[in-house]
A = this chain, B = another copy of it.
């Protein structure tokens, strides 16, 4: 009764993603951080050309000053506390701000492997879709959980972008794979279970790498991903900024995810202005 409708929704969504990739010469941007949850900044990103937007629950925790979290690391530890209905409001607000043409994938409590497991019901998936999401930004840490998640997401017309992590990452935000060979194998397994967009976590921490270059180990892993995935878009997430994004694009990855870098740019613009208004540090 709804299977066909939901498939059509998913087709429209993946078309938005491929259109953006093609429009931007093979590599597009998934804009998150403050551009994912603040309607003012989401609009600024979209007006500048971004076509893919990602609100997520740790960023909302940080944006709203919740549970004492003062940076992204702290927010990751308490993100599961955010009630889903707060994310539903964020999704519908951002959708209203950016319009129907933009692809929105959303991180929700339970979509990541949380400190405290969160169970989402069918109704929750349906509400996420109805609030305006095209997809679910997913950071599950086992293939089994991811497979179940994908089935549920697809039932309600939602795409899934999911990630491969390094087992030593500070926050485990994906299926672990230690070597480039393992990255390739996990990527193929993810494609087989129906993941719609397959990404690699590329920052060991949110701070990313210091230099403008991509870390050789990260580069090798990302190339393994890009070479293993056949039919769906690939993503790189973590530590990407204005200094190193060209190195990331050079790997041929389809989507670069940028979040914390936007937060820092906005914060710096504000910090500079405040100092000027107060005639400090001029």
Q: What residues of chain A have their CB less than 8 Å away from a CB belonging to chain B?
A: 24-25, 28-29, 31, 34-35, 38-45, 47-50, 62-66, 68, 70, 89-90, 92-97, 242, 245, 256, 258, 261-263, 265-280
Q: How far is the CA of A44 from the CA of B269 in the complex (A)?
A: 9
Kindly identify which residue among B34, B44, B278 contacts A29, using a CB–CB cutoff of 8 Å: B278
Q: How far is the CA of A272 from the CA of B66 in the complex (A)?
A: 29
Q: A45–B274 contact, CB under 8 A?
A: yes
Q: How far is the CA of A28 from the CA of B274 in the complex (A)?
A: 10
**A44, A47, A94, A280: which has the most chain B beta carbons within 10 Å?**
A44
**A38, A96, A242: which has the most chain B beta carbons within 10 Å?**
A38
Q: A89–B64 contact, CB under 8 A?
A: yes
Q: How far is the CA of A108 from the CA of B8 in the complex (A)?
A: 43
A64 to chain B, nearest CB (A): 5
Q: How far is the CA of A29 from the CA of B273 in the complex (A)?
A: 11
Kindly report how many copies of this chain are found in the complex they form together. Answer: 2
Q: A278–B65 contact, CB under 8 A?
A: no
Q: List 24 A-B contacts (CB under 8 A).
A: A24-B279, A28-B278, A34-B38, A34-B266, A38-B38, A39-B64, A39-B65, A40-B63, A40-B266, A40-B267, A43-B267, A44-B267, A44-B270, A48-B271, A48-B274, A48-B280, A49-B274, A49-B278, A65-B93, A65-B97, A262-B273, A265-B269, A265-B273, A266-B270
Instruction: Give 4 closest A-B pairs by Cβ, nearest first.
Output: A65-B93, A39-B65, A44-B267, A48-B274
Q: How far is the CA of A269 from the CA of B44 in the complex (A)?
A: 9
**A65, A272, A275, A278: which has the most chain B beta carbons within 10 Å?**
A65
Q: A49–B275 contact, CB under 8 A?
A: yes
Kindly identify which residue among B24, B40, B97, B269 contacts A278, using a CB–CB cutoff of 8 Å: B24
A70: chain B residues at CB < 8 Å are 43, 97
Q: B279–A45 contact, CB under 8 A?
A: no
